[in-house]
Amino acid sequence: MKIMHYTILLFCLVFLFACSEEEVVTIGNPTAEEILLMEEDADILQHNGTVYQTGMDWLDEEDVTKKEKVGQIKKSSTDGISFEDGTATHLPVGTSIYSINENGSILLAEVDGELIRYAVLAEG
């Protein structure tokens, strides 16, 4: 009788674990697709495989000086799946992207003479 109870219990446990959904955990920097799923109107760009975002209050408080041109926006898209280097959600095609002297985690986008700051989105 005890063997029957243990067998039924074991069967129930196996069934419960087999039917449960598995949560996938992403390790690494967020992708454009992940960011746009959380905030569909996010102002982001991708450079060297890394996504940068603007709109954070602390970015405007940083003192920065433009260093050198590191890229240009080649494509505008709000589809995170098709994001690649040179893609942005809000910047016009042809926008120049610059590094800065002070910090490697901030890029500048120059639109009509105005410099817009973008910060790297990194894990942690």
Could you tell me the CA-to-CA distances from 108 to 26, 54, 116 in Å, in that order? 28, 10, 5
pLDDT at 103: 84
- Is residue 14 domain-resident? no
Mean pLDDT, rounded, for 14-27: 58
Mean pLDDT, rounded, for 35-40: 93
Structural domain for 42, as ranges: 29-120
- Is residue 19 domain-resident? no
User: What tokens were used for 18?
Assistant: 């087999």
- Is residue 59 domain-resident? yes
- Of 105, 92, 123, nearest to 47 by C-alpha is 105
Q: Say whether pLDDT at 112 is over 80.
A: yes
- Is residue 20 domain-resident? no
Mean pLDDT, rounded, for 25-38: 86
User: What tokens were used for 68?
Assistant: 């050198």
Q: How many domains does the chain have?
A: 1
- Of 107, 119, 31, nearest to 71 by C-alpha is 107
At 65-103, the pLDDT tens digits run: 999 999 999 999 999 899 999 999 999 999 999 999 998
- Is residue 12 domain-resident? no
- Is residue 109 domain-resident? yes
- Is residue 107 domain-resident? yes
Distance CA 3, CA 86 (A): 64
Which CATH number characterizes residue 109's domain?
2.170.150
Distance CA 70, CA 79 (A): 23
